[in-house]
Amino acid sequence: MPRAPNHRKAINHLKNVDPVMAEVIDRVGKCALEPRAEGTHFDAVMRAIIFQQLSGQAAGTIHRRLQDLYGGRDPKPKELLRTPDAKLRAVGLSGQKTRYLKDLATRVECGDCPIDSLDALTDDEIIAALTSVKGVGRWTAQMFLMFRLGRPDVLPDLDLGIQKGIKLAYKLRKHPLPKRVLKVGAKWAPYRTIASWYLWRLLDVDKPAKAKVPRSNTG
C-alpha cells in the first residue's frame, strides 16, 4: 500500500508566506489530502462526468448501475463505444452525459486525448487535453490534477468553495472574482493545491459555529 503523502514542507511554506493561511491551517488541523489511486485515468474522468451536477448519492447509484453492465467494473473505452445509447440511458445517464462519455471514449481511442500518458504532461497540457472532451471543462480538469494526479500547485479560481473560503479567511465583504483569487493565491505557489484543500475544509469547520443558535433564558 502506498504511503500517505507528507505535506509538512507545503504547510511550512504556506505558514511562512501568509499569516492568514497560517491561521486557517491551525484551525483546520492536519491535511488529509490524498490522491485517488484506484482505477485508471479513463475511469476517473468518466466518473467525473457522471457526477457532474448530481448529488453524490444519485451519481453513485448511476455509476454502480453502469458498472453492472460490465460485470461490476468500469468499462474500457472500446466497450463503452460498443454499448448502445439506449442501454446507457437505461442506467440513469442523461442523453447529454451519454454523448459526453462516448466522446471521451472516442478521443481516447483515436489518441486525441492521451489519457494513459497524462502523467508526463504539464498541468496546462493536461487541462488542454481533457477540455478537448465534450463535457469536461477547466474546473473538472483541475479536479483531476488535484485529486487524481496529486499535482501540488493547482488553484481552481472558478470554484465557489474556494471563493467562499477566501472570503471567510480574509474577512472580505463579498466573494472574490477569479482574478482576485489568483492574486491572493499567488503567494501560496508552488503549493496552491494544499492551500485550496484548507480553504474547502475551513468552510466545513465553520459550519458548526454558524449553526449555533443562542438559547433563550426565558425558558
Report the alpha-carbon distance of residue 62 to residue 67 in Å, rounded. Answer: 9
Torsion angle defined by CA atoms of residues 165, 166, 171 and 177, in that order, rounded to the nearest 10 degrees: -120
Which residues form the catalytic set? Answer: 159
Report the alpha-carbon distance of residue 28 to residue 206 in Å, rounded. Answer: 9
Q: For residue 117, give the H/E element and its range.
A: none
Pull the grid cell for residue 110: 483515436
Alpha helices per DSSP H over the chain: 8-17, 19-28, 41-51, 56-68, 77-82, 85-90, 95-110, 123-130, 138-147, 160-169, 178-185, 192-211
Judged on CB neighbours under 10 Å (0-12, 13-18, 19+), 49 is buried
